[in-house]
Structure 1
């Protein structure tokens, strides 16, 4: 277990999980460096939002938000959402990512992360039947009113039954 998972385990005895995730993200050094901030996580963890302010910390040579800041602000959210929604019986890993820049970002950016109840049920059902699956999640970084898309991040997430995953790994040479 990572230090973050251990802190979650201890913190859950006092605080609600969605609060721990929000403030845990926002105070963790790795996420702070992205300059993104979690602004909301729903109590069921199925919905989260972030804000990426344009600032001197993330401006690039042409005065727009550095692409690395855009990617790193959205990168960990879907995987960590799923880990916490699905629970300890599942293994969840980021497998691949593709980022598409649509236009230079010269204003604050916002993103939303959704997992529907139906999506989670389908993931669980597919894992029961297939033992391991991959899903694709797309996140748009937009302006506040969502009228402009500045960047799209496509993430492939690997999900497996934990017992199956351990057995599969033990067979590796």
Structure 2
């Protein structure tokens, strides 16, 4: 993913994705190409570093019978981002069990997951809420 053009251009680096796609860590170092007018992290880069991890985690864990989309997201900028910032994404088996149950019960549903972007001192720079759309794929008639 580190060579995916939007990440490459913004300086976003995927530091870890677990083999089971249940945990990911992403970092963004402040540089000349990703800072804003006042020399802190450009908000668009902070927002971009949270996309598309929850969606990928659900896709990889639910399998081919499910349709998963990033539906929406919102960001709250808490403090200026300086230096290197990081975001961690984690889902548990209970998240996937909930997704399977709800997809059977109501066919399609939305689930929200928060993620915090933190600096090296562990201070929150931004809070992002990602909304994920999940449904079982329709069975095709033979």
For the superposition of Structure 1 and Structure 2, which TM-score range results when normalised by the shorter chain?
Answer: over 0.9
What residue number does 1:156 align with? Answer: 131
1:135 aligns to 2:111 (yes or no): yes
Relative contact order (C-alpha < 8 Å, sep 6+): which is higher? 2
1:14-163 alignment, distance < 5 Å = 25-146=1-122, 148-163=123-138
CA RMSD, Structure 1 to Structure 2 (Å): 1.6
Deviations along 1:57-104, whole A, 9 cap, x unmatched?
A: 111110100000001111211112211121110001111111100011
Alignment length, in residue pairs?
141
Distance 2:59 2:11 in 1: 23
Structure 2 equivalent of residue 10 of structure 1: none
Return 5+ residue gaps in structure 2 as ranges: none
Structure with the higher strand share, 1 or 2? 2
Deviations 1:92-145 (A, max 9, x none): 111111110001111210110011111111111111111111000111000135
Q: TM-score, normalised by structure 2?
A: 0.93
TM-score with structure 1 setting the length:
0.77
Measured after TM superposition, the shift of residue 32 of structure 1 is 1.5
Task: Specify the SS of the correspondent of 2:49.
Answer: helix
Q: Given that residues 137 and 154 in structure 1 are in contact (C-alpha distance below 8 angstroms), is that contact kept between their aligned partners in structure 2? A: yes
Contact 1:34 1:70 in 2 (8 A): no
More helix as a share of residues: 1
Q: What secondary structure, in the 3-state scheme, does the structure 1 residue paired with 2:21 have?
A: coil
Give every structure 1 segment of 4 or more consecutive aligned residues whose post-TM-superposition deviation is greater than 4 Å.
none
